[in-house]
């Protein structure tokens, strides 16, 4: 008869079952396409619209500054993954707990991380459903249209199946396909715009006629830009899947993947934002693929690419939520780990995000609101606060000044961007029939 398992063995068995810590055999290029899939989301399609509300000068500054700041803060996250010898911070909240204590760290990080990840999943439900709908209307303009809510439900049905994949490494092929699709539809978006050429009487002025409207739209556009740079919320969880030894710590292959991912981000983001705005001016929609009507086959193909990409992105952002959910159910509520628990918990999450997406499918407003309210903290300045707390750079050093600059920029985004996004949602809601 086998001896009873000790508490340490039980905890190890649970860790081996949980999605983040169950597999540590990822290669550096896994990090590259996981980060591309996490970062280059549907937010790239709203960048020309964000440019139209910001204007050329502020728009270019916001795009380039965000790229630089977020690459710097992502480097900090990668470095802090193993900042304590012999220990790995596999989850964002574990790093927060190390910096601020078990309870305070949990309360600082987990609510923000959950808002980001759940918010992204909701936005991607809307994006996936609307892209499905666009494919249908472009491919078959004379067919009877289906309601947007029906397309979102079809998109959700795909995730009811994919959400049962156990961990990050099991969604590798889904993530790789999504990363390739993101590069593909971004290229189609700017290349098709460039081929179309500048529209007649293009206008680079503001869309709103009042000063208040222009200000609110400007703030919402800053949130759109913040939303586009959001991979930090899953970076530690991605790094947790990479093996680590004293000779080759995980930060080396992880950083290789991040650099490649950020090169792809620049190739995707900057041409879409600048070419899209140059061609359409302030007449561009909050999703540039909706503005592009011809050639029909190319627009339909781009929307199919978007669907494939957001399928992968949804899974990347849902996996840490599944990990938190299953950790709580197994460690706190003492449920038995296994397929029935996973099936019920994950399916309920997918259904929840689908229902919220059906209720408020305001793509642009959602991006601005979530981008400022939650993405700015976890992406622009929380890594800097953690760095100051844990690594303790010398006061008034270059590192100290750099981190405080990022913190101030991030705080301004957090305060102002959600105001514009929330106003956009309210304005849209006044003319929208819910659950259409």
DSSP 261-279: HHHHHHHHHHHHHHHHHHH
pLDDT of residue 254: 92
Q: Residue 233 in contact with residue 317, Cβ under 8 Å?
A: yes
Q: Residue 374 in contact with residue 227, Cβ under 8 Å?
A: no
DSSP symbol at 295: S
Residues of the chain where predicted confidence (pLDDT) is lower than 50: 1-5
pLDDT of residue 3: 46
Closest Cα partner for 318 from 89, 162, 131? Answer: 162
Q: Residue 430: in which H helix or E strand, if any?
A: none
**HSE on the CB side for 89, CA within 13 Å?**
25
Phi/psi at 122 (5° precision) = -65, -50
* Alpha-carbon dihedral 316, 318, 324, 329, rounded to 10 degrees: -130
pLDDT of residue 333: 87
pLDDT of residue 90: 87
pLDDT of residue 370: 63
pLDDT tens column, 245-255: 888 889 999 99
CA distance 64 to 252: 25
If phi over 0 gives left and psi between -120 and 50 gives alpha, with beta otherwise, what is residue 116?
A: alpha
pLDDT of residue 4: 47
pLDDT tens column, 298-326: 778 888 888 888 898 899 889 989 999 99
Q: Is 434 in a helix, a strand, or coil? A: coil
Who's near 121: CB < 8 A, 6+ residues apart? 314, 317, 318, 321, 349, 353
pLDDT of residue 2: 44
Q: Is 58 in a helix, a strand, or coil? A: helix
pTM: 0.85
Both tokens assigned to 165: 């994949």
- Helix ranges (DSSP H) in 140-244: 148-162, 172-196, 211-228, 235-239
Place of tokens 């709580």: 328
Both tokens assigned to 121: 């999943």
Phi/psi at 2 (5° precision) = -70, 140
pLDDT of residue 405: 94
């Amino acid at each position: 008869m086998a001896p009873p398992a000790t508490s340490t063995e039980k905890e190890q068995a649970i860790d081996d079952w949980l999605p983040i810590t169950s597999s540590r055999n990822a290669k550096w290029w896994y990090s590259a396409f996981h980060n591309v899939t996490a970062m280059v989301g549907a937010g790239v399609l709203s960048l020309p619209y964000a440019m139209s509300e910001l204007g050329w000068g502020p728009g270019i500054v916001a795009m380039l500054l965000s790229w630089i700041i977020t690459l710097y803060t992502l480097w900090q996250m990668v470095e802090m993954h193993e900042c304590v010898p012999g220990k790995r911070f596999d989850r964002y909240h574990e790093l927060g707990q190390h910096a601020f204590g078990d309870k305070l760290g949990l309360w600082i990080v987990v609510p923000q991380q959950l808002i980001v990840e759940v918010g992204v999943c909701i936005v991607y439900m809307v994006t996936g459903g609307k892209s499905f709908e666009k494919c249908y209307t472009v491919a078959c303009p004379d067919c009877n249209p289906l309601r947007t809510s029906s397309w979102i439900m079809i998109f959700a049905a795909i995730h009811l199946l994919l959400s049962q994949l156990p961990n990050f490494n099991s969604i590798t092929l889904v993530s790789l396909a999504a990363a390739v699709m993101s590069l593909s539809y971004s290229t189609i978006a700017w290349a098709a715009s460039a081929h179309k050429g500048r529209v007649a009487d293009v206008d680079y002025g503001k869309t709103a006629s009042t000063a208040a409207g222009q200000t609110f739209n400007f703030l919402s556009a800053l949130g759109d830009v913040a939303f586009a740079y959001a991979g930090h919320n899953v970076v530690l969880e991605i790094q947790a899947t990479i093996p680590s030894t004293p000779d080759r710590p995980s930060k080396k292959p992880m950083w290789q993947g991040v650099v490649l991912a950020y090169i792809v981000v620049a190739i995707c983001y900057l041409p879409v934002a600048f070419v899209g705005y140059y061609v359409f001016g302030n007449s561009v929609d909050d999703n540039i693929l909706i503005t592009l009507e011809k050639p029909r086959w190319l627009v339909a193909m781009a929307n199919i690419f978007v669907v494939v990409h957001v399928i992968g992105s949804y899974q990347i952002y849902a996996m840490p939520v599944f990990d938190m959910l299953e950790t709580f159910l197994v460690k706190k509520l003492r449920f038995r780990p296994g397929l029935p628990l996973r099936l019920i918990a994950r399916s309920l999450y997918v259904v929840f995000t689908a229902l919220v997406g059906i209720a408020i499918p305001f793509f642009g407003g959602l991006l601005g609101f979530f981008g400022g309210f939650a993405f700015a903290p976890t992406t622009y300045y929380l890594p800097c606060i953690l760095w100051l707390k844990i690594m303790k750079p010398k006061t008034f050093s270059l590192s100290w000044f750099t981190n405080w600059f990022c913190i101030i920029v991030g705080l301004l985004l957090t305060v102002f961007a959600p105001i514009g996004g929330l106003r956009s949602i309210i304005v849209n809601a006044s003319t929208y029939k819910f659950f259409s």
